[in-house]
Amino acid sequence: MGQLVMSFRGINMHVTKKSGVLPADVQHRVVAIDASNGYEHPITEWGALPPHVSFIEAKPEVLAALLNAGLPPLPGSNDERVWLHGWSVRLVNPAGRRADIRLDGVFCLTEALPGMVLKEGIGNEVEVPDWAASFVDIDSGTVTWHQFKEGAVYTTWSVETEGDPVLEFTQTKDGAIQPSLRVTIPSTPPLAHLNHHVPGSMVLHNGTSDGSDKQWDFVLFYLANRDGIPPKNGINLDFPMDLPPDVPIMAFVDLTTSCSNSQYP
């Protein structure tokens, strides 16, 4: 038996089975919203929201396996990150056949926008929807939530595997599905963690490309809304979005409420 422990930080949306939009053979999906171009529209009054990047942070031995298999490095990262834009991911060899999803502390997008309907495309089993940078399908193991002291909510997937974990990566390029890559990675050791003590040997980030949080980054989730990002008077965000006072912004990259995970519905 092996184990995979993988966490999710930033603008990652958990699409639950009760959404009614997942394929029949997918129990849960974590979607990195495509905010690679940022967002700016004066009518919405949210200001200029910066571009976000979907990438994998990993232990050195995991990173080496991913890069050696042909996954692309994040530009400018000196091969220390994997660029995941345009990819879907699934675990090939889970030991179980049931996912236990525990997201009580993860913000529900429909609480702020009750009429929210996802754009079409989430039902595709392989293709990455055009409003997503990447996604991970989860059909076994347990998903739990955690919170940084600075406020951001992130999540962790823990799953037993038959032998070392085998991940399948499928890329969509110019609308065409490319041949999948199957990558065997080392089993996650007990108590393994990455930056800021986030559990696991892999973390899927969807964070700002300029290295800082912005006050309203969280509304980028509504790029997945069929009607787009609403104006301020059309949405109810009832939790603090500001950075803590008198603290350098660079000290809180990806750690404040503006870069929390969410769930739909």
Domain that holds residue 176: 2-264
Mean pLDDT of the 179-187 span: 97
128 neighbors 87 (Cβ within 8 angstroms) = yes
Residue-level pLDDT at 123: 59
Higher-confidence residue: 247 or 98?
98
Residue-level pLDDT at 47: 83
- What predicted TM-score, i.e. pTM, was given to this entire model? 0.94
Residue 41 pLDDT class (50, 70, 90 cuts): confident
Mean pLDDT of the 128-135 span: 86
DSSP state of 96: -
SS3 call for 221: helix
- Degrees (nearest 5) of the Cα angle 167, 173, 175? 115
Residue-level pLDDT at 242: 54
Residue-level pLDDT at 211: 66
pLDDT reading at 176 higher than 90: no
Residue 138, both tokens: 């989860």
Nearest of 182, 197, 217, 212 to residue 48 by alpha carbon? 217
Average per-residue pLDDT in the chain? 90
Task: Among 43-47, 110-114, 152-156, 205-209, name the one with the lowest average pLDDT.
Answer: 43-47
Residue 129 pLDDT class (50, 70, 90 cuts): confident
**What would the 3-class secondary structure string for 107-167 be?**
EEHHHHCCCCCECCCCCCCCCCCCCEEEEEEECCEEEEEEECCCECEEEEEEEEECCCCEE
Residue-level pLDDT at 30: 97
d(CA 121, CA 118): 8
Q: Is the peptide bond between 186 and the residue preceding it cis, with omega within 30 degrees of 0?
A: no
Total domains in the chain come to 1
